[in-house]
Amino acid sequence: MSEKNRDNKNRWRNVTIAFRMSPEENEELDLRVKLCGYQTRQEYIIESVLHQKVTAVGNPLMLVQFRKQLRGIEEELKRLTTLEDADEELFTPIRTMLEILNAFAEERNYERRKKEKAQK
């Protein structure tokens, strides 16, 4: 039996939720969890389901995963001769990384505007 967990509000997490995924969906979920910097799938899924929004957690693990994915994308792009040769799976990590980077940019712009307002 696994060890009992508590959430950040000190509530027991003792309910198990299970669902089925295709192997491709499973890989995409793992990729998104890693790219967003979450330690576990559980954290990512709870954040996503309960808040309809996933916040990327900037940390060294996230940077390592970005580099790893970018190297893989680079290798795949070198292999391709035309864009028609690219399969949809190549674009999944690219879309995820762009979503994360755009969110960071929006947050930075929001913080800058907030700071400018405070200075006026």
| Same domain, residue pair 7 and 46 | yes
Measured between alpha carbons, how far is 35 from 94 in angstroms, rounded to an integer? 11
Q: Can you count the helices (H) and strands (E) in the chain? A: 4, 2
Considering the domain architecture, whether residues 35 and 5 belong to the same structural domain is answered as yes
Distance CA(43)–CA(58), nearest Å, equals 14
Check whether residue 20 and residue 4 sit in a common domain: yes
Q: CA–CA separation, 116 vs 110, rounded Å? A: 10
Q: State the helix-helix crossing angle for 88-119 and 60-79, rounded to 10 degrees.
A: 140
pLDDT, residue 4, reads: 65
**Nearest Cα to Cα of residue 36 among 55, 49, 51, 8:** 55
Same domain, 29 and 80: no
Domain boundary among 31, 52, 73: 52
Per-residue pLDDT of the chain (120 residues; tens, 9 = 90+): 456 677 777 778 788 888 899 999 999 999 989 888 888 999 899 888 888 776 777 788 888 888 998 998 899 888 888 878 788 778 888 888 888 888 888 888 888 888 888 887
Range of the domain at 26: 1-52
Model confidence pTM above 0.75: no
**What's the CA angle centered on 77, arms 76 and 79, to 5 degrees?**
65
Does 32 lie in the same domain as 65?
Answer: no
pLDDT at residue 91, rounded to an integer = 84
Distance CA 5, CA 18 (A): 17
Count of domains forming the chain: 2
Please report the pLDDT score of residue 3 as a whole number: 62
Report pLDDT for 64: 87
Would you state the pLDDT for residue 57? 73
